[in-house]
A and B are shown apart, each in its own frame.
Chain A
Amino acid sequence: MAEIIEMPKLSDTMEEGAVASWLKEEGEFIEEGEAFVEIETDKATMEYNSPAEGTLLKILVPAGQASQLNAPICVVGEKGEDFDLDSLVKASSSAASASGHGSPKEDEAPAPSEPAAEVASSAPAGSPGGRIKASPLAKKVAKEKSIDLASVAGSGPQGRIILRDVEGLSASSQASAPVAAPAPAVAGSSDVDVPHSMMRKTIAKRLLAGKNDAPHFYLTRSVDMTKLMAWRKRLNEEAANARGQDVPKVSVNDLIIQACAKALKRHPKVNASWHQDFIRQHGSVDISVAVAVNDGLITPVVHAAHILGVRDIAIKTKDLIGRAKDGQLKPEEYAGGTFSVSNLGMMGIEQFTAIINPPQAAILAVGATVKTPWVAEDGSITVQPRMTFTMSCDHRVIDGALGAEFLQTLAAYIEDPLMMLA
């Protein structure tokens, strides 16, 4: 059986190594414990004694080249043996992550045997490089929902992914999941340990990473909704009177989406995302709208919202939300947003903060419109319908002033929708 020999960790601080020279050539026999290669570590060049016995079938890292720790450097096996390099590499990388690597002398690890129970309870079924075990039905459902099984942890035997592991998931919930799903049911007064659903695991993983990666800061302000509400009233009266014509009703959220879209167009630095070497300013304003669905959440995207009228947006959101609840969205319909709007106002939440949906740079958390006593600049007090929103910003992309300017524009558009035409 051919096997891979990997870049060894020959010093405790070594993070990568380089092959200084090969002491054996391809085709030569290597005895176990025999020095066969010289490795340059961060500290020294050292001989490496073979952890395996066999003929050196293939050198993968030529002399002078560096490679990561545990990356394959050569293949040994029976002389003349046929081997499939890809599957060997896969097997070796999964073994590497499963067992870890100690000092060279301890490196004669036994063949990787999968710790079944552990896989079932903790790791995704597609443990690095390994075959993904999933029931045929789970596979079919995952395909329909464009769920990547590699990131799903199976709760069946030997970590098999079964229906219940994919049932509540969707590709977007896998990708974004900006808010938490309903808490697990607790029966009676005794404690109940509800195993993590895959959705819960994904939310935990992604939001933790998102929050850690993107340094959040929050900008909150409130706006007078009087004119926006009046405009909405007019639009919907018109819709009600439009006999025979299909004129949609417009929601507050639709109006806010439009206001955001227009504001984003004016502030392209907010309609942006963080990348390793650059910040990308997106040409199109594509707004992800958080929609609660049965047992989860999905964020369909209103693409090119900046060029749409509010009725177009209403038609679009109505369609998307309807199909989202039926699980009928196509993958492209919930992928690729540049900015998110999450609205809990209809549930009485006055103010909240949301976690950014990476790689986007900001999310707007929209609260309820409440009648509020307001002290005007002249000191007079009026009662206004006011709405509070909070934008979470990725500080790597958006600085405080930039965010504040954007919200100023947004507030202006909401307080006087005619300004959107300016």
Chain B
Amino acid sequence: MALLTFREALGQAMDEEMARDESIFLMGEEVAQYDGAYKVSKGLLEKYGERRVWDSPISEAGFAGLGIGAALTGLRPIIEMMTWNFGIQAFDQIINHAAKMRYMSGGQYKCPIVFRGPNGAAHMLGAQHSQAVEPMLTNIPGLIVATCSTPYDGKGLLKSAIRDDNPVIFLESEMMYGMKGEVPDDEYLIPLGEGDIKREGTDVTLIAWNKALHKAAEAAEQLAKEGISAEVLDPRTLQPLDEDLIFGSVRKTHRVIVVEEAWGFASLGSQIADRIQEECFDDLDAPVKKVSNEFVPMPYNEAQEERVMPSTERIIKAVNEVLYRS
């Protein structure tokens, strides 16, 4: 076991996969000579050379499309979006092209490509740099959407994403790149589509992913002191969702809070709540609650930003509500 930062774990995933499969190349803004805007691709240019590690122009739609064309003809591109805020420029390519090629060709083409980069508000970056794309991209059939909350998960999932024959959206977090976690020395994979119970509990299930998972975990810790046993569930893959894991947890705890650092209107949290009410109706002792971003563009001011994003206080308040505690 080694204690790695998130960026190191993700970098290792790409490194190992590029070493394993020569058809993999990495392209994105600043990924080569600069070692990546967040240093996730550090050392890859040096190791794999200019043929396989490409600094792109600031043309997200362009190089996303380039990746898709290459994927359709046999390569396995990793396309880094410096952040998913810029990735929105590439939505036409991702949604209209990557997600549709296999379907419209009647199953002839496959599109093995990973679009990866940090997602969600970081800290005081203002409204344009604080987007959350998971509600938008999980709504597209033909895409797999994965995310991660620990270096261990990040590495294992990214490796699976790179090996998958479908377009995979891989969501990271600027705020977590420096976070450290145990990562095994031996190679391992975490399959796409499998969630993980990060903390067992019996009174309420907190569903969260990416950076928000840590807020949920913190809330669970505080609740434990008050005698409330909260289960913390990380779906890890957001499309397709590990519904069995979610339903199993709901049937155990009977109460659910979805914590998402995204806007809650027609969001992934809405989807999870919908599926739970459909499949676990008779197991619910309270309505499913969401703790999402408040419905305003992300403010710049620090206190305002904190107010708008989910907080442990808001999570605990929601837990108290579903437990009918006053």
Q: List A residues at the B interface (Cβ < 8 Å).
A: 135-140, 155-157, 162-164
By the criterion CB–CB under 8 Å, are B324 and A138 in contact? no
Q: Which residues of A contact B285 (CB under 8 A)?
A: 135-138, 162-163
Encode B289-326 as 1/0 by CB contact (under 8 A) with A: 00000000000000000000000000000000000100
By the criterion CB–CB under 8 Å, are B283 and A140 in contact? yes
Contact of B324 (CB < 8 Å), options: A137, A139, A164: A164
By the criterion CB–CB under 8 Å, are A140 and B282 in contact? yes
- B254 smallest CB distance to A (angstroms): 5
The SS class assigned to the A binding surface is helix
Q: Which residues of A contact B281 (CB under 8 A)?
A: 136
In the assembled complex, B58 has its CB within 8 A of some CB on chain A = no
Complex Cα–Cα for A164 and B284 (A): 12
By the criterion CB–CB under 8 Å, are A155 and B283 in contact? no
By the criterion CB–CB under 8 Å, are A136 and B324 in contact? no
Q: List B residues at the A interface (Cβ < 8 Å).
A: 254, 281-286, 324
Q: Which residue of B lies closest to A157 (CB)?
A: B324
Q: Which residues of A contact B254 (CB under 8 A)?
A: 137, 163
Q: Which residues of B contact A163 (CB under 8 A)?
A: 254, 285
By the criterion CB–CB under 8 Å, are B286 and A156 in contact? yes
- A149 smallest CB distance to B (angstroms): 14
Q: Which residues of A contact B283 (CB under 8 A)?
A: 136-137, 140
Q: Which residues of B contact A162 (CB under 8 A)?
A: 285-286, 324
Complex Cα–Cα for A156 and B281 (A): 17
Known contacts A137-B254, A163-B254; is-contact A156 B282 (Cβ 8 Å): no
Q: Which residue of A lies closest to B254 (CB)?
A: A137
Complex Cα–Cα for A140 and B281 (A): 10
- A132 smallest CB distance to B (angstroms): 15
Q: Which residues of B contact A157 (CB under 8 A)?
A: 324
By the criterion CB–CB under 8 Å, are B324 and A156 in contact? yes
| Cross-chain pairs A/B with CB under 8 angstroms, 11 sampled | A136-B285, A137-B254, A137-B285, A139-B282, A140-B282, A140-B283, A157-B324, A162-B286, A162-B324, A163-B285, A164-B324
Q: Which residues of B contact A156 (CB under 8 A)?
A: 286, 324
Give the 10 A-B residue pairs with the shortest CB-CB distance, closest first.
A140-B282, A137-B285, A163-B285, A135-B285, A136-B281, A136-B282, A136-B284, A156-B324, A162-B285, A137-B254
Q: Which residue of A lies closest to B284 (CB)?
A: A136
Q: Which residues of A contact B284 (CB under 8 A)?
A: 135-137
Complex Cα–Cα for A136 and B280 (A): 9
Given contact pairs A135-B284, A155-B324, a sample of 11 additional A-B residue pairs in the complex whose CB atoms are under 8 Å apart? A135-B285, A136-B281, A136-B284, A137-B254, A137-B285, A138-B285, A139-B282, A140-B282, A156-B324, A162-B324, A163-B285
Q: Which residue of B lies closest to A167 (CB)?
A: B285
Q: Among the interface residues B254, B283, B285, which one has the most CB atoms of the partner chain A within 10 A?
A: B285
- B129 smallest CB distance to A (angstroms): 39
Q: Which residue of B lies closest to A140 (CB)?
A: B282
Complex Cα–Cα for A137 and B204 (A): 14
- B249 smallest CB distance to A (angstroms): 14
Complex Cα–Cα for A163 and B286 (A): 9
Q: Which residue of A lies closest to B280 (CB)?
A: A136
- A75 smallest CB distance to B (angstroms): 36
- A184 smallest CB distance to B (angstroms): 17
Complex Cα–Cα for A157 and B284 (A): 15
Q: Which residues of B contact A136 (CB under 8 A)?
A: 281-285
Q: Which residues of B contact A135 (CB under 8 A)?
A: 284-286
Q: Which residue of B lies closest to A156 (CB)?
A: B324
Q: Which residues of B contact A140 (CB under 8 A)?
A: 282-283
Q: Which residues of B contact A164 (CB under 8 A)?
A: 324
Complex Cα–Cα for A273 and B40 (A): 83
- B241 smallest CB distance to A (angstroms): 21
Complex Cα–Cα for A137 and B286 (A): 8
Complex Cα–Cα for A34 and B285 (A): 50
Complex Cα–Cα for A416 and B32 (A): 101
- A125 smallest CB distance to B (angstroms): 13
Q: Which residues of B contact A155 (CB under 8 A)?
A: 324
Q: Which residue of B lies closest to A162 (CB)?
A: B285
Q: Which residues of B contact A139 (CB under 8 A)?
A: 282
- A138 smallest CB distance to B (angstroms): 6
- B207 smallest CB distance to A (angstroms): 18
Q: Which residues of B contact A138 (CB under 8 A)?
A: 285
Complex Cα–Cα for A155 and B284 (A): 16
Complex Cα–Cα for A374 and B30 (A): 103
- A88 smallest CB distance to B (angstroms): 30
- B116 smallest CB distance to A (angstroms): 40
Q: Which residues of A contact B324 (CB under 8 A)?
A: 155-157, 162, 164
Complex Cα–Cα for A156 and B282 (A): 17
- B274 smallest CB distance to A (angstroms): 15
Complex Cα–Cα for A164 and B322 (A): 12
- A142 smallest CB distance to B (angstroms): 11
- B77 smallest CB distance to A (angstroms): 47
Q: Which residue of A lies closest to B251 (CB)?
A: A137
Q: Which residue of B lies closest to A161 (CB)?
A: B285
Complex Cα–Cα for A163 and B253 (A): 11
Complex Cα–Cα for A163 and B251 (A): 13
Complex Cα–Cα for A243 and B286 (A): 54
Complex Cα–Cα for A3 and B281 (A): 35
Q: Which residue of A lies closest to B287 (CB)?
A: A135
Q: Which residues of A contact B282 (CB under 8 A)?
A: 136-137, 139-140
Complex Cα–Cα for A40 and B285 (A): 51
Complex Cα–Cα for A68 and B324 (A): 40
- B166 smallest CB distance to A (angstroms): 36
- B193 smallest CB distance to A (angstroms): 28
- B99 smallest CB distance to A (angstroms): 36
- A108 smallest CB distance to B (angstroms): 37
- B143 smallest CB distance to A (angstroms): 33
Q: Which residue of A lies closest to B281 (CB)?
A: A136
Q: Which residue of B lies closest to A154 (CB)?
A: B324
Complex Cα–Cα for A264 and B234 (A): 64
- B277 smallest CB distance to A (angstroms): 9
Q: Which residue of B lies closest to A164 (CB)?
A: B324
Complex Cα–Cα for A298 and B314 (A): 42
Complex Cα–Cα for A176 and B284 (A): 29
Q: Which residues of B contact A137 (CB under 8 A)?
A: 254, 282-285
- A140 smallest CB distance to B (angstroms): 4
Complex Cα–Cα for A135 and B322 (A): 11
- A147 smallest CB distance to B (angstroms): 15
